[in-house]
C-alpha cells in the first residue's frame, strides 16, 4: 500500500461541482473526518436537473457550521477560477464539476465543451500558476479529477483495466472525459503537477441525480408511467454506491503521485488514473427487480403494484454501451480499498430516502 504524503488537517481544499451528487457528499465527509479543514466549493447550479435537490445539498453542508465557502459560478469562467485560487490558495483541488450524461451530450454538446473542456483547462491553468514555490508555504499539492467509465467505450475486454487502450469513445461525453485525462497528463509532464484521474462507474444513492436510471425509473413508476429498459434488458452496469466513491476519493486525495525525474533528467509525469467501481456488474433486469422490491418495502409503491404493465423492453440507445465492469486491482493494491456496498443495500437506502423526498 502507498503511504499518505498529504495531511489534510489545516489545509484548504477546493471542490468544484460542490452542489453535485458526489461533490456534496465529499464535502460532508471531509468535514466529518478532518479537523481544522477549510473547504471552498464552486458550482454553477445549472438546471440540467431539479435545482432544488442541489440547493438542499448545499443547505445540509451549511448546517454543519464548519469553515465552508461557496461560490456560485462556473469553472468555465476563468476570472472566477483565478479569483478562488488567489484568495483561498487551495492545497488540494478536487474537480468534480462537469456536464454529465451520455444522451444529453447528443442533444446539447455545447454544455460539454464549455464545462468539461474549457472549465477543466481553467482548473489546470490555475493549478499551474499556484504550485508550491521553493522554500515557501502553500500551493497546489494534488489535483484529483473525475473521469468516467464511459472512456472505455465499446471495449470488448472485461473487466475494464486502466491499462487498456481507450481510444474509441462512443459519445461526446466520453470524448471529453478522455480529453481531461490527456490534458492532465500534459500538464503533469510540462509543469510537474501531481494529478490523479478517477474513472467512476455508475454512481447511485440517496439524493442522487434524477437523470440516472434508478431515480428516473422511480419517478415514472410513482406516476404510473412506463419505464423503458434499453437493449431489451441485456445491459450490465457496475453500480457503485456513492459512499464507496467518496471513500475512494478521500483516500486518493491524501496521496499525490510522487515527483521524480527520468534518465534524461526531465520530470516523469506525476500522474495516475484509477477505476472506482463495484467490480460486480448487474444485469439491468435484475437491477429493476431489486429496485421495485425495495420501493415496495419502503412504502414508495403499493405491494400490489403491477410492474409488468409498466415495463417496456426497447433497443439500445445511441452512445450507450452494453456493459461496464471495473477492474479495481490497482485501487486495492495502492489504497487497500475496494467498493463493497451491495446493490440491494444501496437501493434500500435510496428507497428509504425517496419515501421522505416524496413528502
What does R_g of the chain's alpha carbons equal in angstroms?
A: 20
C-alpha 151/C-alpha 168 separation (Å) is: 8
Q: What does DSSP say about strands 236-237 and 282-283: parallel, antiparallel, or unpaired?
A: antiparallel
Task: State whether the Cα torsion 83-139-133-144 is positive or negative.
Answer: negative
C-alpha 160/C-alpha 28 separation (Å) is: 30
C-alpha 119/C-alpha 98 separation (Å) is: 8
Contact criterion met (CB below 8 Å) for 69 and 40: yes
Please tell me which residue in 48, 112, 160, 173 is annotated as part of the active site. 173
User: In 3D, which of 147, 170, 173, 149 has the Cα closest to residue 160?
Assistant: 149
C-alpha 209/C-alpha 204 separation (Å) is: 8
The answer to whether 173 is a known catalytic residue is: yes
Active-site positions read 173
Amino acid at each position: 500500500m502507498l503511504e499518505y504524503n498529504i495531511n489534510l488537517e489545516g489545509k484548504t481544499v477546493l471542490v468544484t461541482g460542490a452542489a453535485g451528487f458526489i461533490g456534496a457528499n465529499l464535502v460532508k465527509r471531509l468535514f466529518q473526518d478532518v479537523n481544522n479543514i477549510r473547504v471552498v466549493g464552486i458550482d454553477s447550479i445549472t438546471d440540467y436537473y431539479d435545482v432544488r435537490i442541489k440547493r438542499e445539498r448545499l443547505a445540509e453542508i451549511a448546517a454543519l457550521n464548519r469553515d465552508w465557502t461557496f461560490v456560485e459560478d462556473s469553472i468555465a469562467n476563468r476570472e472566477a477560477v483565478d479569483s478562488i485560487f488567489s484568495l483561498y490558495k487551495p492545497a488540494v483541488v478536487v474537480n468534480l464539476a462537469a456536464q454529465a450524461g451520455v444522451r444529453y451530450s447528443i442533444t446539447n454538446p455545447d454544455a460539454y465543451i464549455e464545462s468539461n473542456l474549457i472549465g477543466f483547462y481553467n482548473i489546470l491553468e490555475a493549478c499551474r500558476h499556484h504550485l508550491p514555490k521553493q522554500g515557501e508555504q502553500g500551493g497546489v499539492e494534488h489535483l484529483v479529477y473525475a473521469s468516467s467509465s464511459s472512456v472505455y467505450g465499446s471495449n470488448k475486454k472485461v473487466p475494464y483495466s486502466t491499462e487498456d487502450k481507450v481510444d474509441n469513445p462512443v459519445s461526446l461525453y466520453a470524448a471529453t472525459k478522455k480529453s481531461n485525462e490527456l490534458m492532465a497528463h500534459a500538464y503533469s509532464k510540462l509543469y510537474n503537477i501531481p494529478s490523479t484521474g478517477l474513472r467512476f462507474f455508475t454512481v447511485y444513492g440517496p439524493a442522487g441525480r434524477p437523470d440516472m436510471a434508478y431515480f428516473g425509473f422511480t419517478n415514472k413508476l410513482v406516476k404510473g408511467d412506463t419505464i423503458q429498459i434499453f437493449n431489451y434488458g441485456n445491459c450490465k452496469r457496475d453500480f457503485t454506491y456513492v459512499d464507496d466513491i467518496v471513500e475512494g476519493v478521500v483516500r486518493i486525495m491524501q496521496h499525490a503521485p510522487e515527483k521524480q525525474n527520468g534518465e534524461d533528467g526531465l520530470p516523469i509525469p506525476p500522474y495516475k488514473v484509477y477505476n472506482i467501481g463495484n467490480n460486480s456488474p448487474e444485469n439491468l433486469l435484475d437491477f429493476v427487480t431489486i429496485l421495485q422490491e425495495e420501493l415496495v418495502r419502503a412504502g414508495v409503491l403499493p405491494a400490489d403494484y403491477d410492474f409488468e404493465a409498466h415495463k417496456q423492453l426497447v433497443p439500445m440507445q445511441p452512445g450507450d454501451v452494453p456493459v461496464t465492469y471495473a477492474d479495481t486491482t490497482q485501487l486495492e493494491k495502492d489504497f487497500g480499498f475496494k467498493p463493497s456496498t451491495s446493490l440491494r443495500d444501496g437501493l434500500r437506502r435510496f428507497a428509504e430516502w425517496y419515501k421522505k423526498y416524496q413528502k
